[in-house]
Amino acid sequence: MLSVIVPAHNEASVLSHTLSSLCEQLAPEDELIVVCDTCQDISVDIARTFTCHVYDERLGSAAQTRNFGAQKATKDVLVFIDADTHCAKNYVAAIKRSMRGGTEYGCAPLKSESGHWLGEWIAKSINRFNYTHRTFGGNCFVSTHLFKQLAGFNEALMKGEDTDLGERLCKLKARYGWLAQSYIVHNERKFKEQGYIRYFSKLWLESVLWQVAPSVYQRVVGVKG
């Protein structure tokens, strides 16, 4: 039923944790696809210990990497999981239950990895944004039919291609699913490297720009230079 697609760029330090949490949940009829984009570490070797569907490519952006994985997928539902994300034990089951109930796309709430109050605050803010706007970040699911109808992720965008796809699905009036009984835990290394307040401020400003002036957002933040 599911094609789970994991894009990876030099993710050797976290990839095993992510893939093991997924493999524990996948049924024989599901497939796991890992697309290693311009990796200079052992991400490819690690991925091959979990699945035979591993591609070592030179693509250059998250949108291209995800679309490449979708092209290789054979199932009715596409699930995109970032390589540094740990999924709740009921994540895959929650997606299947939601899709069987008529959902066409959606995501699960984000939980803080550190439990730090700023990490919790960021997670709640991202969840509120996704739920309110019926969109998602890099961790999401969508019917293969709708994904192809919308031509997948916008490869002209270097950033925000995930939110852009969610927005287009919402405008199409596709049925949105919020997996309130499940969750994902995203690695907070970017928060730690850049500082929680600085990183959150950047996300907040980008989200405001995306809502108020989407054309400016794409020109300033997202479009390839």
- pLDDT tens for the chain, 225 residues long, are 999 999 999 999 999 999 999 999 999 999 999 999 999 999 999 999 999 999 999 998 999 999 999 999 999 999 999 999 999 999 999 999 999 999 999 999 999 888 878 778 888 988 999 999 999 988 999 999 999 999 999 998 877 889 889 999 999 999 999 999 999 997 766 665 666 667 666 666 666 666 676 666 666 665 543
The confidence score (pLDDT) of residue 16 equals 96
The confidence score (pLDDT) of residue 122 equals 81
The confidence score (pLDDT) of residue 210 equals 62
The residue written with tokens 């091959």 in the block is 48
User: How many residues appear in the chain?
Assistant: 225
The confidence score (pLDDT) of residue 125 equals 86
- Cα angle 195-199-205, degrees, rounded to a multiple of 5: 150
**Torsion-angle region of 78 (φ positive above 0: left; ψ -120 to 50: alpha; else: beta):** beta
From the list 184, 199, 177, 178, the residue with the least C-alpha distance to 21 is 184
The first and second tokens of residue 114, run together, are: 């550190």
Q: Which long-range contacts (CB under 8 A, 24 or more apart) does 17-22 make?
A: 17/86, 18/81, 18/82, 18/83, 18/84, 18/85, 18/86, 18/87, 19/46, 19/47, 19/50, 19/51, 20/50, 21/86, 21/87, 21/89, 22/81, 22/87, 22/92
AA identity, residue 73: A
The confidence score (pLDDT) of residue 225 equals 39
Count of other CB atoms within 10 angstroms of residue 121: 14
Q: How far apart are the first and last CA of the chain?
A: 38
Q: Where are the alpha helices (DSSP H) in 29-160?
A: 43-48, 62-72, 91-100, 117-133, 144-149
The first and second tokens of residue 140, run together, are: 């999401």
The confidence score (pLDDT) of residue 158 equals 75
The confidence score (pLDDT) of residue 216 equals 61
